[in-house]
Chains A and B, each alone.
Chain A
Amino acid sequence: MRFLLVEDNAELADSVVQRLGLDGHAVDHAATLSDAEAHLEVADYDLILLDVMLPDGDGRDFLARSRDRINTPVIVLTARSQISDRVGALDQGADDYITKPFDFSELEARCRAVLRRRGGLARNEITLGAAVFEPNAGTLRHGDAVMDLRNREIRLLEVFARNPGQILSKSQLLDRLFSQDADVTENAIEVYVGRLRKKLDGAGVRIETVRGLGYRMSL
């Protein structure tokens, strides 16, 4: 996905760009509202992450002003957690909000939810042997059969599909998949790997156990 991040704190912006990059997203950074306008004029984005407090104005005012021109979905990043602010952001045309500091898996989940709602998720097919995996639709097609995958299965399969042939440790997978406050143990990874193996059965793709190291998907 291509993001526009509007955030005035350079350090935070840097690390968000870097972190989203790890998930394979392209992120442009604008430090001010006028900067953001300039970016929006020359490029198309899937999603805008908009901070509320910016040096040249309030992010929500910007939203209210430019809602009729810009159709890109917006998730407001807010440092405030006051209820009234949240409601205010949604009223003024934001699609969703997320409170700083945010969990990147939650941000990702919210982005997907917003894009799904807006119908803006691009078709994205990954061929896995004889099967076709559509992460955005959450389906795995294999011959005539279409299997619905659950959220965690989708995310796990996505990590494997993006890193074919690479050994991924259980703890790596854990960190990529689950929000840090979730009560997930490495056993859960085994459960989800087991399910994926069952669903991929016969497609010519295998998730191998690399003893003592983790798992590897081999095509």
Chain B
Amino acid sequence: MTRQGASDAARGVRPSWPIARKLTLFLAAIVALLALVSWGMVTSFAREAAGRTQDNILAASATSIAETLRSEGGQVRLELPYAAFSMLGAISEDRVFYRVAAGDDVLTGYADLEGPDVTPGEPSFGTLPYRDMNVRAVSVMRVILADGEAVPITVTLAQTRGGVRGIAAGLSRQAAYLSVAVFLLAVGMSAFAVRSSLRPLNTMAQHVSTRGPSDLRPLRRRGPPELMPLVRALNRLMDRLGGSIKRSEDFIAEAAHRVRTPLAIVRTQAEIALHSVEEEAQKQTLRRVIRAVDDSSRSASQLLDHAMVSFRADDLARERVDLPALAEGVADALRPTAEMKDIDIALAISPAEVEGDAILIQNALRNVLDNAIKYSPAETIVRVSVGNGGGEARIAVSDEGPGFGEEPAAHLMERFKRGDKVEGVVGSGLGLTIAEEALSAHGGRLELGRNVEGGGACVSLILPAA
């Protein structure tokens, strides 16, 4: 349940959009916008420049045609200069149309070509439909004296726009390629920049998460000033956390002290009284008092142990634990208790090592062994064997007591659940729960079985071998 607790905490943090992705996308959008705008500008410049070139050439050609106009014996005459057309051909393969007219009187060229309105002196331009095509036209007007009469002659020159558009499109395409290239480069660079500016954050996170369970020292890493508020907040949090852990430990110690000292007085006084009273009924009462005191003190111990196991299992220490030495230590600590009932604790030990929290494993074994002694009849043997096999380390504790009865093993490991053979024995029903929790925090388990030789219970503590 405690491991589940830890992953619950991790699940609680639902990530919003990652900063790196957000920043990269944002930068990419800006770059894309810039690329688009610059491409658009280049395209319109290209179109305008190509148009202006065409206009200039058209005007020059029209003017050079107009310059060949002369009057000859009252007739207006002209020559179509080759150069005028070859200039137009220089831009592209576009078709060229022309018309030279004196008023409505067409002198030469395409009669149906209507140029833009024109005044003498200045060429005038226009884009107009002609024969299902879109043409750029220029008209130039020149006044010729013929027979002493001023005749205004209009020269109109038109050219289709395909070539010009082609040039503009080519330029625009080049600009598009360039924009895409710039865009890709800029996105790549901004992704890199984002990642490298976020790196201090990752290193800090890594530094915090690889700390040991009780390492609440303040962070002392250098980092960019933007991270300093976070570092300071983290440090304050750790400070408060350390303080509250210390306070709750102190509180538990203080509470235990305040509860146990009066219990100890009651128990001792009851024992003294037990020695001085004669009447059996009073003795019975005193014995009941003593049992009740023992009961509540044992419950208090196990509740504290249980809290402790849950607390330590949340952030499990990982150190090498030598099981034979650990088992010997626990057996030595409980031997005086066992001797009071003339129970021998027999150890059969072979090497076994696991990785984990020695204090938790010790606590699990102590609870199991304490149970075995409690339920064993006097003058029997409690056997503790330690060994290694099949990738598992195992400590088996078997006694010659009444065994577990018919109840399913899982029930006995439930909190405050006691078996059906517990009559007359003080207990809170937390012992096996504590052991089970301590073991499962290590990825191990508790196995309850029958002691084949002695007829009692056999409890095995199983842990993954190191």
A residues apposed to B, CB below 8 Å: 9, 11-12, 15-16, 18-19, 22, 53, 79-85, 87, 96, 99-106, 109-110, 112-113, 150-152, 171-172, 175-176, 178-184, 188
Stretch touching chain A among B163-171, B203-211, B296-304, B405-413: B296-304
Q: Which of A15, A79, A84 contacts B257 (CB 8 A)?
A: A79
Q: Which of B252, B269, B336 has the most CB of A within 10 A?
A: B336
Q: Beyond the given A82-B256, A152-B342, please list 15 additional residue pairs across the A-B interface where CB-CB is below 8 A.
A: A12-B265, A19-B272, A53-B257, A80-B257, A82-B252, A82-B304, A83-B362, A100-B261, A100-B263, A100-B297, A104-B271, A175-B271, A175-B274, A180-B290, A182-B340
In contact, B359 and A113 (Cβ under 8 angstroms):
no
Chain B residue numbers with a CB within 8 Å of A175 are 271, 274-275, 283, 287
Is the C-beta of B145 less than 8 angstroms from some C-beta in chain A? no
Interface of B is mostly: helix
Chain B residue numbers with a CB within 8 Å of A18 are 268, 272
Is the C-beta of B379 less than 8 angstroms from some C-beta in chain A? yes
Is the C-beta of B260 less than 8 angstroms from some C-beta in chain A? yes
B residues apposed to A, CB below 8 Å: 249, 252-253, 256-257, 259-261, 263-269, 271-272, 274-275, 280, 283, 287, 290-291, 293-294, 297, 300-301, 304-305, 308, 333, 335-337, 339-342, 359, 362-363, 374, 377-379, 424-426
Given contacts A22-B272, A101-B297, contact A152 B308 (CB under 8 A): no
**Smallest Cβ-Cβ distance to A182: which chain B residue:** B341
Q: Which of A18, A106, A113, A183 has the most CB of B within 10 A?
A: A183
Given contacts A104-B271, A106-B337, A112-B336, contact A81 B256 (CB under 8 A): yes
**Smallest Cβ-Cβ distance to B266: which chain A residue:** A101
**Smallest Cβ-Cβ distance to A22: which chain B residue:** B275
Nearest 4 Cβ contacts at the A-B interface:
A101-B264, A15-B268, A81-B301, A79-B257
A to B CB contacts below 8 Å, 30 in the list: A19-B271, A19-B272, A79-B256, A80-B253, A81-B256, A81-B301, A82-B249, A83-B362, A83-B363, A99-B301, A100-B261, A100-B297, A101-B260, A101-B264, A101-B297, A103-B294, A104-B271, A106-B336, A106-B337, A106-B340, A109-B339, A150-B379, A151-B339, A152-B378, A175-B271, A176-B275, A178-B340, A180-B287, A180-B291, A182-B378
Q: Which of A84, A101, A151 contacts B340 (CB 8 A)?
A: A151
A71 to chain B, nearest CB (A): 21
Chain B residue numbers with a CB within 8 Å of A102 are 264, 267
B362 to chain A, nearest CB (A): 7
Q: How distant is the Cα of A81 from the Cα of B424 in the complex, in angstroms? A: 24
Chain A residue numbers with a CB within 8 Å of B305 are 81-83
Chain B residue numbers with a CB within 8 Å of A79 are 253, 256-257, 259-261
Q: Which of B265, B287, B304, B342 contacts A11 (CB 8 A)?
A: B265
Q: Which of A15, A79, A104, A179 has the most CB of B within 10 A?
A: A79
